[in-house]
Amino acid sequence: MKITIDRKPCDCEKGEYLLTVAERNGIHIPTLCHHAALGEQGCCRVCIVEVEENGRKRIVTSCVYPVSRECSVETDSEKVREQRGIILELLRKRAPDSPEIAALCEAYHAPKLDRLRALDSGKCILCGLCVQACGRLGSGAINTMLRGTEKLVGTPYNEASPDCVGCASCAEVCPTGHIVVTETADARTIWGKTFELVKCARCGAVLDTPEALAHAAKRAGQDVPVLCETCRRLKMTDEMAQTFGLSI
């Protein structure tokens, strides 16, 4: 079916999310809590757009809004600009130390509302991506706790979690770098827990923590790897060469 986004006609399937359709047609909509691999959240509300359907206009989050009928979408109407600006400014007060949020505020002309109160410090915008990543890729060691204005992300009892495998997937997906990972040649510390780092048996490159390797292997039903990706491929080609009597 056909819809229009910012007056541009776009082809799409019924049920597709507006964000996907927009991206495919080169129309950029800012997001924070959206990650292609991590399921639908729709909580940061930065990706809002104004949709007109059946003669009615309303604000929806494009990341989880399914196209169900012909409609026209505006990604930068007056209302969207005003409300997205306020949402970004609210996030800047929540995460005053985040340059990423400050940059978004600049880019989208967020109003500077000095009358609002900023937290003393911090970068967390409570987008929930870390919790999603930990749940899907890690061991479910972190989650949100409390609710409302006191909501935060962390480990139970704010202690080092026995479940954390130190994979740092959470830090990888965090849009503001709030999650601190300190790494030396031999150790990684995250969420108050320090892990050894396993090195590639062949070239010495860092693989991951032993716990993370074991966890991933168990999930995939495979053996725990001892080589890095590159060395594993090299080993495979060596073996193939030997099998077929080729020389490389």
Partner 1 sequence: MHTPEEIQAVIDRYPCSQQYALAAMQDMQRQFGYLPREGLEALSKHLTCPFSQLYSMATFYKAFSLKPKGKHVIKLCDGTACHIRGGSVLLEGVERELGIRPGETTPDGLFTLQLVNCLGSCAIAPVILIDGTFYGRMTLEKLPGVLDSYREEAAAE
Partner 2 sequence: MKQTILVCCDTGCLANGARAVADALEREVSAAGADCQVQRTVKKTGCHGFCEEGPLVRIQPDDIAYYHVKETDAPDIVRGLIQGAPVQRLLYKDKTGASHPPRAAHPFYNKQKKIALRNVGEIDPHSLEDYLARGGYEALKKALSMTPDEILTEMETSGLRGRGGAGFPTGRKWRSAAGYDVFPKYVVCNGDEGDPGAFMDRSILEGDPHSVLEGMAICALAIGAKEGYLYIRDEYDMAVHAVGNAIRQAEEAGFLGENMLGSGKPFKLRVVRGGGAFVCGESTALMASVEGRVGEPRAKYIRSVQRGLWDHPTVLNNVETWANVPVIITGGGAAFAKLGTKSSAGTKVFSLVGKVKNTGLVEVPMGCTLRELIFDIGGGVANGRPFKAVQTGGPSGGCIPESMLDLSVDFDTLTKYGAMMGSGGMIVMDDTSCMVEVARYYVNFLSEESCGKCTPCREGLRQMLHLLTDICEGRGQEGDVELLERLGHTLQDSSLCALGKSAPNPVLTTIRYFRDEYDAHIREHRCPAGVCRKLTSFRIDAGKCVGCSACVRACPTGAIAGALKQPHEIDQSKCIVCGSCRTACKFGAVTVAGGTKQ
Provide the minimum distance between the beta carbon of 154 and partner 2 in the complex, in angstroms, as a whole number.
14
Q: Which is nearer to partner 2, 128 or 138 (CB)?
A: 128
The entry of partner 2, partner 1, none near residue 44 (CB within 5 to 8 angstroms by kind) is partner 2
Q: Please, which of residues 74-133 interact with partner 1 by CB under 8 A? A: none
> Which residues contact partner 2 (rule: CB under 8 A)?
40, 42-46, 48, 58-61, 64-66, 79, 82-83, 86-87, 90-91, 93-94, 113, 115-117, 125-126, 128, 144, 146-151
User: Which of partner 1, partner 2, none does 52 bind, CB closer than 5 to 8 A by kind?
Assistant: none
Nearest to partner 1 of 36, 146 (CB atom): 146
Q: What is the dihedral of CA 84, 125, 33, 90, to 10 degrees?
A: -10
Q: Which of residues 137-156 bind partner 1 (CB under 8 A)?
A: 139-147, 155-156
| Distances from the Cα of 60 to the Cα of 33, 79, 237, angstroms | 15, 12, 51
Cβ(191)–Cβ(155) below 8 Å: yes
Binding partner of residue 126 among partner 1, partner 2, none, CB cut-off 5 to 8 Å per kind: partner 2
**What is the SS3 assignment for the chain?**
CEEEECCEEEECCCCCEHHHHHHHCCCCCCCCCCCCCCCCCCCCCCCEEEEEECCEEEEEECCCCECCCCCEEECCCHHHHHHHHHHHHHHHHHCCCCHHHHHHHHHCCCCCCCCCCCCCCCCCCCCCHHHHHHHHCCCCCCEEECCHHHCEEECHHHCCCCCCCCCCHHHHHCCCCCCCEEECCCEEEECCEEEECEECCCCCCEEECHHHHHHHHHHHCCCCCCCCHHHHHHHHHHHHHHHHCCCC
Shortest reach from residue 233's CB to partner 2, in Å: 41
Q: Is 43 in the site for partner 1 (CB under 8 A)?
A: no
* Partner in contact with 149, chosen from partner 1, partner 2, none, beta carbon below 5 to 8 Å by kind: partner 2
Q: Supply the minimum distance, in Å, between the C-beta of residue 44 and partner 1.
A: 19
Nearer to partner 1, 144 or 237 (CB): 144
Range in contact with partner 1 (rule: CB under 8 A) among 32-40, 112-120, 136-144, 196-204? 136-144
55 binds, among partner 2, partner 1, none (CB under 5 to 8 A by kind): none
Positions in the binding site for partner 1 (CB under 8 A) = 135, 139-147, 155-157, 161, 163
